[in-house]
Chains A and B, each alone.
Chain A
């Protein structure tokens, strides 16, 4: 069972709404990913090459190193929140519109698997 006669993928890729969605989604995902990876790698790099910085005591015996490691937890949760919010407010709606539109076009043809 092939899909090419069920959903017109090529038509969707030409749809301006889809192109817009894809562009914004790409920019968002990869941008966020790049930031996260950069922030994360500051940790092993710091632990390896900036040990004197990491040893500075900031809060009692807590040093920069430990606080920085703990901040990575905050990073992770904030990124998850931002991503989930952006998807539910923005991308999901647009994707649903496009998908409903093309599904109704395909539904008029026989053999559709829904």
Chain B
């Protein structure tokens, strides 16, 4: 079976310990812990698979999940690689700015709770496009709605694949490409055999595991400080590793600052998001993006009623909020105990911070328990990724199968339940294969930042359309189509010409800078080697090792980009200066819906307004949407 193949592939390629962070000879514990967690989730999938019969079951677990269960499932879906690995990594490398992602990701749920959750549950059925096509022309809404869902999912999927690739590479030493294939294969097994029921239960199990593991690590990190927040942060700030990192980030200005000041700087904004507008742009994408995420929206359709939808969101906000408070400790704890330099050495994006922290807490790379902790946390993170990927693939597959196939190609004529399930499974395989390919091509990116881009697309295309079709009488098909097109094009287009892409010219310039500065640093370290103090000698050796690594990387970069001067898009340097396109693309999306609606007249949209208007405000006795699709 697909799952067994995945596990076997892991075992087979696990012989190459090339870049593993595990101590010598401890690789087998890792593998066993890993395999056990995967086996449990496979078993749940198997149990669920026996119960899938209709399209309704496949997509929405037959509408039977309760409020708090769904709350845990939403949390599981939401707390993906970006949250656990990405944010902890960003905080450990850049301090305060990383925590901004935590805040943004959480506050976004206010938007969902107040404006989106209950109305959508009252009028929706399976997908985002159902909401959009309720009042508007079904065919057009579905085509563009499906495109938007697939675009958002691709960005989000890429983030997960990157997380998985880094994780397995570091943990077991298999190469990035192989680990991406393993994730893809396992995910396909989950979705193909269980659909939404399987993914709902996998999400719940995984969310509980993730929160528990994080609580344990945080408790162990915080206990020495008597659970005092100032004492913990004081220690982070006084740590020389943290201070050295800030010095590296600041460059010249650091020379004028004292060690204590350097450390304090870690708790202040600006180390990652240097341009002021970048902060606001990112903030906009985060706070409005969640309300437009297709796989989160789907979670509302798996509950019995709007009241349950409300309870789900409130539960999710408690769990997610609690978790993001933990990321503060995971990130700063990793910075203090493992050190930003060491984290960045294993993975430049920092995605490996939390697992390395777990390893340290357990006793370090050479202890049994240390590697057990590493294995456990990595397995939980891995399960996290597979479950989220499954949810995303499901959202895209249902967009293709339900919206494009049933709604458009088959003209909405009756397709037998088994036919629908079959179409969904075929679409799943297509999306799965795509995601594996793109994941491999995205080697080297950072998980939380990639998810931020998915949020930008969701906030620019989906959010304006959903919000206005629910709350604005005059909104119609013209508006929806315009909004979706403009939103997607603006967000994706600006991203492609932003600093997020690799610009060979800049990479080579940075590499040359490293090589130029190497000589001076090397003499200082070489002198220290001669000293009598063993501590100094050890430190000097470490520095020389780091210098060697940096030089090797610089040379590799120069060689890699020797022939090209421009990015994938043909630019020498970024045309759009911000890391996140939100501040431009979101207003554009809203304007497009506005003008699109005003320029076209649409009788159907106006006729159905009263129904949408009423349904949103009162949960009617009619629990399923019965409008003509």
A→B interface (CB under 8 Å): 1-3, 6-7, 9-10, 12-13, 18, 21-22, 25, 29, 32-33, 36-37, 40-41, 43-45, 47-49, 51, 54-55, 57, 59-63, 65-66, 69-70, 72-73, 75-77, 79-80, 83-84, 87, 92, 95-96, 98-100, 102-103, 112-114
Contacts and interface: CB of A to CB of B under 8 A. Distances in A.
A33 B111 contact: yes
A98 B280 contact: no
Q: Is the interface of A mostly helix, strand, loop or mixed?
A: helix
Interface centre among A54, A73, A77, A87 (most CB of B within 10 A): A73
What is the interface residue range for chain B against chain A? 35 or more
Contacts of B234: 60-61
Contact of A44 (B282, B611, B613): B282
A61 B100 contact: no
A44 B106 contact: no
A29 B283 CA distance: 21
A44 to B, nearest CB: 4
14 contacts: A1-B628, A7-B622, A12-B614, A12-B618, A21-B617, A44-B280, A48-B273, A48-B280, A54-B269, A65-B267, A69-B96, A73-B321, A76-B317, A113-B626
A51 B617 contact: no
B613 A13 contact: yes
A69 B103 contact: yes
Interface in B81-118: 96-97, 99-100, 103, 106-107, 109-111, 113-115
B225 to A, nearest CB: 11
Question: Which 9 residue pairs of A and B lie closest in terms of their CB atoms, listed nearest first?
Answer: A60-B230, A48-B276, A47-B269, A95-B618, A44-B279, A44-B283, A103-B621, A9-B610, A48-B279
A41 B268 contact: no
Contacts of A95: 617-619
Contacts of A62: 229-230, 233, 267
Contacts of B622: 3, 6-7, 103, 112-114
B325 interface: yes
B27 to A, nearest CB: 39
A13 B613 CA distance: 8
A87 B103 contact: no
Given A49-B276, A76-B107, A60 B617 contact: no
A2 B324 CA distance: 45
A80 B621 contact: no
A89 to B, nearest CB: 13
Contact of A92 (B278, B280, B307, B324): B307
Given A43-B100, A43-B103, A65 B619 contact: no
Contacts of A33: 110-111, 114-115
A79 B618 contact: no
B63 interface: no
Contacts of B617: 18, 21-22, 25, 95
Interface centre among B99, B618, B623 (most CB of A within 10 A): B618
A76 B620 contact: no
Given A2-B628, A21-B618, A48-B276, 11 more contacts: A9-B613, A12-B614, A40-B110, A43-B103, A44-B279, A47-B273, A69-B96, A76-B106, A76-B107, A80-B110, A99-B621
A18 B614 contact: yes
Contacts of B268: 51, 54-55, 63, 65
Given A12-B614, A13-B614, A73-B103, A40 B283 contact: yes
Q: Is the interface of B mostly helix, strand, loop or mixed?
A: helix
Interface of B: 96-97, 99-100, 103, 106-107, 109-111, 113-115, 229-231, 233-234, 237, 264, 267-270, 273, 276-280, 282-283, 287, 307, 310, 313-314, 317-318, 321, 324-325, 610-611, 613-614, 617-624, 626-628
A41 B281 CA distance: 10
A3 B626 contact: yes
B6 to A, nearest CB: 38
B282 A1 contact: no
Given A72-B106, A73-B321, A99-B618, A47 B279 contact: yes
B628 A61 contact: no
Contacts of A96: 618-619
Contacts of B264: 55, 57, 61, 63
Contacts of B99: 66, 69
B133 to A, nearest CB: 15
B508 to A, nearest CB: 31
B618 A18 contact: yes
Contacts of B283: 40-41, 43-44
B336 to A, nearest CB: 13
A41 B269 CA distance: 15
Given A1-B626, A18-B618, A75-B107, A29 B115 contact: yes
B459 to A, nearest CB: 13
B618 A51 contact: no
A54 B276 CA distance: 14
Nearest to A67: B229
B279 A84 contact: no
B290 to A, nearest CB: 12
Interface centre among B103, B106, B229, B270 (most CB of A within 10 A): B103
Contact of B114 (A32, A45, A114): A32
Contacts of A80: 109-110, 113, 313-314, 317-318
A60 B280 contact: no
B467 to A, nearest CB: 11
Nearest to A68: B103
B354 to A, nearest CB: 20
Contacts of B623: 114
A79 B110 contact: yes
B267 A63 contact: yes
A18 B276 CA distance: 45
B317 A77 contact: yes
